[in-house]
Structure 1
């Protein structure tokens, strides 16, 4: 009888270059190049370090709209798939995951770009599916207004389903490339999609062949009810956030429960919350480092400006700071990051906060779940992992000294305990995440037909 394979923690590296949301002054760290967000050599080095530590993937975030109040990294950064194509030829095992919106792209183009990255990388690509919460993006794509919430998610689901259909355009044996018979393509293994839906009409076939992992891995990060439902329907990896182990368990159980109801195997979904890690020689020193780094990165005026993002970049500077939080601003969030905006508005209402108090509360330094001496952090990660609050972690590549200490001091402890791999199991992202290769729908249908004929 074969032994049951031990469950292992999955690791992602999230790069924010010169500083993402809540990190307006990360770029002041002298160990970070001031142009890190557009320096391909910086990304190549982070990918090398992540692969050396046996991380599963590197994750490139993206958005389609900025203002002068956007975080430094957002103001000037490389387009994800162009960037990941460079990383594909400078790494061998690391998964390459990009955020791309379903609201301001077309399925054929995204399917083709990802399929190309698949072949360039040997089957290591992943797609973080987003529906775009930045309402201002509409004006960059010839639209009068952003899609409403329900339309965004309905379009997003259909978009992914079309892309998955296009990735099945060619069966694995579609290209004999037989010089003797002058046969390059077996046309019976090429398939049109002929999709006609509510949002898209796509004929196909895609002009890129099937990859070693079948299809790119689908990631999703929505936390609203619609977002969780989309993740449960199509997500193979889920990016999320959890402040406590109880919150992590609640999300974990909800998402995997929804997936089971939809007939999916919950074990084929990898939940990876994003975390910041603070490491010191002692627990006390780590908390001091945490407070120092968080304090350095806080600025009231910047926080007030960034508060507008979930509210479709509504400008809160127009209000009296010492008056009650302006609940009427929620109307602007209807086509923005509505879940986040509603959370902020409820927080203010429940506590009777003024606008100033709301900003101060949201931006205040606070203890995180993963701070301490290396063994303490490893213990906490193991606790969350074994309690099924997560399947993996997306570790922020922030201050280089902390990123180094996590890789060099915490990961080895987890490896010694058998929680994190010491060598890659596979050459594909699916293989390393423990996810199955999707069977080509046309191959499956033909094999089923043959099986029926044998009965």
Structure 2
């Protein structure tokens, strides 16, 4: 466990450009095939590791349309990519998105456990229920699961995963050549799980890593999503526009974890995603922010991707200057409904046309993390000290900007004593100050031994 509270940092590479940055790939520093280039990802991961970042986070989705952002159109599967990066790095945590809606528990748990062993205990799993409703059609379903089913599966999936990772107690493999004993069979445990959504016998044919289990992350913002994060999440990925919003989310999640689920709120690490722009001066950084926003997110691109939270409904078929078609909210019922509902309500309340609604999503809210290296560092510390977060996921958009963050902002945080100057742990749990989970069977054995 960490001896004192410190800022946590994650790096989130967008490759050739994700939502809101369709034309990021025009940056000459970004290879046209960046999203499928192990060389490019390795360069970013090593740069983040030089900056002593806690983790590298690879997002994912499995449904595309012709209007999807370039990074979504052609990108590597996260766990395959992270396994490759595990051999090219030595300390940074490696976190990937994997859905509980369209994976078999045993198979995914085994792949995550393998990444954890390959990396020496640096794996993390971002648990998602999948917002792109069209993904269901890639898995033989006519429609996506409803919200209750999605989150019910996720809850059971994570609990099942943790049980499978405990299939072997840590000293199960004797490997004694003298006696010829390889395995202490009393320390291999069959699961025999039969729940509402899954039936798995077990055991998992994989030993635990130095950190016990991969770290579980979660990023849902609906009430069900927040409950899932508060009950099973160890890291929480989120977004907040300002300190009050960050504090409200932070307090809500920590309170839910403690009062509703009996958890230690300090074992929940909350890391909002942020956009950072560093310049020689605050004025120069703001100019660069405005330039990048205009270049990276044209109106045509914004209109094309506007339908994503609405189940990728095609909004190009509507009159741009007619009132926003509020009835389209129904298309988002099994997609990113919380986001679609917020967009629709805002458009209706303001009496906006479709054009105005799209422009509102394109119009960038100035990031708080823009300015000289000292200004950016001040703002990071301000959020962290205000308990609006425990750390930040820094978007890796323009490579030159991320280099400046690592080389100019991070040293200021280190000088102020709020961020590590060097790694003092070898696992992702160690970086985040999270405890290693005790194997449940070992704990039960110890409890039985002390019972009169």
Aligned to 1:354: 353
Residues of 1 paired with 2:117 and 2:210: CA distance?
Answer: 8
SS at the partner of 2:367?
coil
State the Cα RMSD in Å: 1.0
Aligned to 1:294: 293
Aligned to 1:9: 7
Q: Does the aligned pair in 2 maintain the 1:103–1:156 contact within 8 Å? A: yes
Residue among 92, 103, 114 paired with 1:94: 92
Residues of 2 paired with 1:245 and 1:218: CA distance?
Answer: 25
Q: Does the aligned pair in 2 maintain the 1:12–1:58 contact within 8 Å? A: yes
Aligned residue runs from structure 1 range 20-31, under 5 A: 20-31=18-29
1:12 Cα offset (Å): 0.3
Q: What per-residue deviation string (whole Å, max 9, x for no partner) do you get for residues 77-135 of structure 1?
A: 00111100111111111000000000000110111001111111110000000000111
Aligned to 1:386: 385
Residues of 2 paired with 1:274 and 1:342: CA distance?
Answer: 21
Bigger shift: residues 208-217 or 293-302 = 293-302
SS at the partner of 1:22?
coil
Aligned to 1:433: 432
Structure 1 ranges of 4+ moved more than 3 A: none
Residue among 208, 211, 216 paired with 2:209: 211
1:297 Cα offset (Å): 1.2
Aligned residue runs from structure 1 range 339-378, under 5 A: 339-378=338-377
Aligned residue runs from structure 1 range 268-279, under 5 A: 268-279=267-278
**1:337 and 2:336 are equivalent in the alignment:** yes
Aligned to 1:398: 397
Aligned to 1:105: 103
Aligned to 1:138: 136
SS at the partner of 1:184?
strand
Residues of 1 paired with 2:42 and 2:245: CA distance?
Answer: 34
Q: What per-residue deviation string (whole Å, max 9, x for no partner) do you get for residues 180-201 of structure 1?
A: 1111110100001111100000
1:401 Cα offset (Å): 1.2
Aligned residue runs from structure 1 range 35-434, under 5 A: 35-261=33-259, 262-434=261-433
Bigger shift: residues 347-356 or 58-67 = 347-356
SS at the partner of 1:146?
coil
SS at the partner of 2:402?
helix
Q: Does the aligned pair in 2 maintain the 1:56–1:432 contact within 8 Å? A: yes
SS at the partner of 2:313?
coil
1:350 Cα offset (Å): 1.8
Residues of 2 paired with 1:160 and 1:229: CA distance?
Answer: 13
SS at the partner of 2:392?
strand
Residues of 2 paired with 1:429 and 1:413: CA distance?
Answer: 23
Residues of 2 paired with 1:315 and 1:144: CA distance?
Answer: 19
Residues of 1 paired with 2:304 and 2:396: CA distance?
Answer: 24
Residues of 2 paired with 1:97 and 1:189: CA distance?
Answer: 29
Residues of 2 paired with 1:221 and 1:81: CA distance?
Answer: 18
Q: TM-score, length-normalised on structure 2?
A: 0.99
Residues of 1 paired with 2:347 and 2:83: CA distance?
Answer: 44
Q: Does the aligned pair in 2 maintain the 1:195–1:202 contact within 8 Å? A: yes
SS at the partner of 1:344?
helix
SS at the partner of 1:323?
coil
1:366 Cα offset (Å): 3.0
Point out where structure 1 has 5 or more consecutive residues left out of the alignment: none
Q: Does the aligned pair in 2 maintain the 1:295–1:365 contact within 8 Å? A: no
1:318 Cα offset (Å): 1.5
Bigger shift: residues 392-401 or 296-305 = 296-305
1:14 Cα offset (Å): 0.2
SS at the partner of 2:175?
coil
Residues of 1 paired with 2:397 and 2:325: CA distance?
Answer: 33
Q: Does the aligned pair in 2 maintain the 1:311–1:337 contact within 8 Å? A: yes
Residues of 1 paired with 2:137 and 2:159: CA distance?
Answer: 26
Residues of 2 paired with 1:446 and 1:365: CA distance?
Answer: 56
SS at the partner of 1:176?
strand
Residues of 1 paired with 2:167 and 2:193: CA distance?
Answer: 12
1:207 Cα offset (Å): 0.4
Residues of 1 paired with 2:357 and 2:262: CA distance?
Answer: 42
1:6 Cα offset (Å): 2.4
Bigger shift: residues 91-100 or 318-327 = 318-327
Q: Does the aligned pair in 2 maintain the 1:298–1:364 contact within 8 Å? A: no
1:298 Cα offset (Å): 2.1
SS at the partner of 1:349?
helix
Q: TM-score, length-normalised on structure 1?
A: 0.98
Q: What per-residue deviation string (whole Å, max 9, x for no partner) do you get for residues 387-410 of structure 1?
A: 000101100111011101111111
